[in-house]
Chain A
């Protein structure tokens, strides 16, 4: 790989690049889906290519190819420089990457069992066992389970002298059970909805989350929801479970702290951010018990890696400290820009630039953006709640283009009366405004309840890129929340 990398960096610089990097990426994915006792999907995909990113005449250029030969590297590297020079005609200012980043290293996801060494039969049998348990419950219409595995090997080299080789391994799993009656459809998912829960982990992750052992419970919940009353409309106390809170953190904290988005590069597509730079260090994002971090180092987190796609080490950054907004997810260019106007902000990137494969440029992506654990047990939190709702597992989501006004629906909810869980209710929704909602957070459960949930479907950028992000959460309580919207 070093020969190919050197060729790209040399060609780019000889054509006029003042900075160049190359990523050579191989991604293999395996997916198995079982629906109602039948294997529906069995796929093994392999994708390989390289991308060259350069700065010439102060502007960015990028080009890529799926043919790794020295001749093709020459062609692609020269094309990236040509694009950069064309982009320079329209530049507002020269790109400034700030201090150089020079790292020579090897990183590999620590796994006990490489999932690509486990037989297809063993994987299929996990799904068939879960399917059988789910469909043993009367009233189940559809059970669908999936296992997914990914291995990505990346070589990164830059003209500053970095040479980094990484192998990241992911394992994911999910089961969704649907029950249907006249005019109504209800579903329950485990461990998380929208396909699967995923982590940077080996095959041991499958046994830890035990799909077959949870299938009957969620099947019974899906059937019971059909005859449950609808969520009442009121303003009340709301307790969210970990998976729903993971998406709440993703949408209302993770996206608005992407500094490229703050500076406007996502404006035409998914929008901008209410967390503008003058708020850094002083703005009250949430209550005193709200502490959020971004990190790329938590074991098994889906946003865990050694280095980002600019070759910056994965690290840990405070985002919200005792309720105050204190940090962004940054790239080298955006961190440098922020530091010029806000000297208290770090001079260096915190390593959040990632690309979806070899044929996309890196953009700022969440790693693991997490709500830190508090003091409570879930039982004590419910016992401490006189009147409220407990909502579990995301079913629908929507948030505005500044990440302020959100509305979520969950698969399952219970009323809380006098410190006890009451009736199950269906079609639960809640809505709020981000800083008011987090300002009403008065309790977060403790580390025993804390997990890093994986979101393998985060969309951003034009052309579109899908990122794998993680979110550590423990259940938390929010006061004065509007629930049961427009049912």
Chain B
């Protein structure tokens, strides 16, 4: 998953967000990227997701936010059991 798109709060108190993937989503099998996927929708409590981070990358990347004039330094992360709730099939 390389980029989320149009992420907005569904339930602020429970920190549930929904959003789409864009600009490249790929299937990983046995340690290799095997094929591209259609865009996926997630609906997920972000605090719950952070509590299930298994690994963080070593390299930080500076990423400009889509909305607003600020940027974030962040590494790649593996999150166990991230909750995808929909798919665009065409």
Contacts and interface: CB of A to CB of B under 8 A. Distances in A.
Do most interface residues of chain B lie in helix, strand or loop, or is the interface mixed?
strand
A310 B41 CA distance: 38
Contact of A407 (B39, B43, B90): B43
A326 B62 CA distance: 43
A405 B90 CA distance: 10
Interface in B26-41: 39, 41
A486 B10 contact: yes
Contacts of A343: none
A431 B13 CA distance: 21
Contacts of B19: 398
B1 to A, nearest CB: 14
Contacts of A269: 66
Contact of A486 (B5, B8, B13, B16): B16
B19 to A, nearest CB: 6
A271 B10 contact: no
Given A407-B43, A485-B43, A401 B22 contact: yes
B83 interface: yes
A401 B13 contact: no
Contacts of B88: 400, 402, 404-405, 433
A417 to B, nearest CB: 25
Interface in A376-413: 396-402, 404-405, 407, 409
Contacts of A431: 41, 85-86
Contacts of B87: 405
A433 B38 CA distance: 13
Contacts of A185: 12-13
Contacts of A270: 6
Interface string B40-80: 01011000000000000000000000110000000000000
5 contacts: A269-B66, A402-B88, A407-B85, A433-B88, A486-B16
Interface of A: 183-185, 269-271, 396-402, 404-405, 407, 409, 427, 429, 431, 433, 459, 464, 485-487
Identify the 6 closest CB pairs spanning chains A and B, nearest first: A486-B43, A400-B20, A405-B88, A401-B22, A486-B85, A398-B6
